[in-house]
């Protein structure tokens, strides 16, 4: 089965550490992004999430990262864990990032 606990790294060099997955599938950890448009220095940011504990091991999951230490934005990720042909676990994810804007009229540019 797929175990999200531990360190993960993406193709841009960002890293995620999942501390522990509870019996109900909830987890927490830290996200260490390698990319940012914020003016402040990047810092590790807390994440919280949940995963399905499927018997086939190729679970779906989602988590939220609050970039509060260096940015006014929040990101959500959804994905699935796959057991690759080489035996390694691989995560495939999609994300949305919401940046703070100063007015409702700027809402159109706030989500990537």
Average pLDDT over residues 54-68: 87
Asked if residue 57 is part of any domain, the answer here is yes
Q: How many structural domains does the chain have?
A: 1
Which 3 state secondary structure label does DSSP give 16?
strand
What pTM does this model have?
0.87
Model confidence pLDDT, tens digit, residues 69-91: 888 899 999 999 988 788 888 99
Cβ neighbors of 46 (< 8 A, separation 6 or more) are 28, 29, 30, 31, 65, 66, 68
Where residue 10 sits, what CATH number does that domain have? Answer: 2.40.128.30
Asked if residue 108 is part of any domain, the answer here is no
Asked if residue 29 is part of any domain, the answer here is yes
**Domain range enclosing 57:** 6-34+44-102
Asked if residue 86 is part of any domain, the answer here is yes
Model confidence pLDDT, tens digit, residues 26-54: 999 999 998 888 788 888 999 999 999 87
């Amino acid at each position: 089965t797929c175990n999200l606990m531990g360190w993960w790294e993406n193709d841009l060099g960002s890293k995620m550490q999942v501390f522990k997955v509870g019996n109900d599938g909830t987890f927490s950890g830290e996200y260490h992004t390698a990319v940012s448009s914020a003016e402040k220095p990047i810092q590790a940011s807390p994440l919280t999430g949940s995963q399905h504990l499927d018997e086939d091991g190729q679970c779906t999951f989602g988590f939220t990262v609050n970039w509060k230490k260096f940015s006014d934005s929040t990101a959500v990720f959804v994905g699935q864990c796959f057991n690759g042909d080489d035996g390694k676990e691989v995560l495939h994810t999609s994300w949305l990032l919401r940046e703070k804007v100063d007015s409702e009229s700027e809402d159109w540019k706030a989500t990537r």
